[in-house]
Amino acid sequence: MESNGKEKFTPKIVGYLCNWCTYAAADLAGSSKLEIAPNLTVIRVMCSSRIDFNLVLTTFFNGADGILIGGCHPGDCHYDKGNYYTRRRYAMLKSVFKTLKIDPERLQLAWISASEGNRYADVVNSFTEKIKKLGPNPLNENPYY
């Protein structure tokens, strides 16, 4: 069987999780002992709207293979409209990724409430599988990309 070099690939994924919802869901998933891929490094933020362009691009340019942004469901943001700004920024980031010739699938936004521990586990596991299929961040192979 021919090797494509991805079998031993262990993705590095950064998860920026809103304190009020997705971070609490991660906590619930952990205390419920759900199976969650260990590839996600969690960074807690007070609202998904705190994730700006610079942060996403810097994270990616510093070697993350994938980035997950977790926020409150639309209408549930503790700061009223924060996640609406996030949704718009996410759409723009996807097009920036395309312009930079980076697969936009490496960035994912998910609305996960504090009670959705199962959904959190599903999102993390499926995103990890997706990143494994995409392979390493191309910038890691060619830093002068």
Q: Does 83 bind ligand FES (CB under 6 A)?
A: yes
- Min separation Cβ 29 and ligand FES, Å: 17
Q: Does 72 bind ligand FES (CB under 6 A)?
A: yes
Contact 107, 127 (CB under 8 A): no
Q: Does 71 bind ligand FES (CB under 6 A)?
A: yes
Given the rule CB under 6 A, which of 34-42, 70-78, 89-97, 100-108 is the region that contacts ligand FES?
A: 70-78
- Min separation Cβ 86 and ligand FES, Å: 6
Provide the sign of the torsion angle of the four alpha carbons 47, 78, 36, 102, taken in this order: negative
Contact 134, 94 (CB under 8 A): no
Q: Which of 9, 13, 3 is nearest to 128 (CA)?
A: 13
- What six digits make up the tokens of 52? 């700006």
The whole-angstrom separation of Cα 114 and Cα 139 is 34
The whole-angstrom separation of Cα 128 and Cα 122 is 10
Q: Does 17 bind ligand FES (CB under 6 A)?
A: no
**Choice between 59 and 83, CB closer to ligand FES:** 83
- Binding residue (CB under 6 A) for ligand FES from 14, 17, 18, 68: 18
Task: List residues binding ligand FES (CB under 6 A).
Answer: 18, 20-21, 47-49, 71-72, 77-79, 82-83
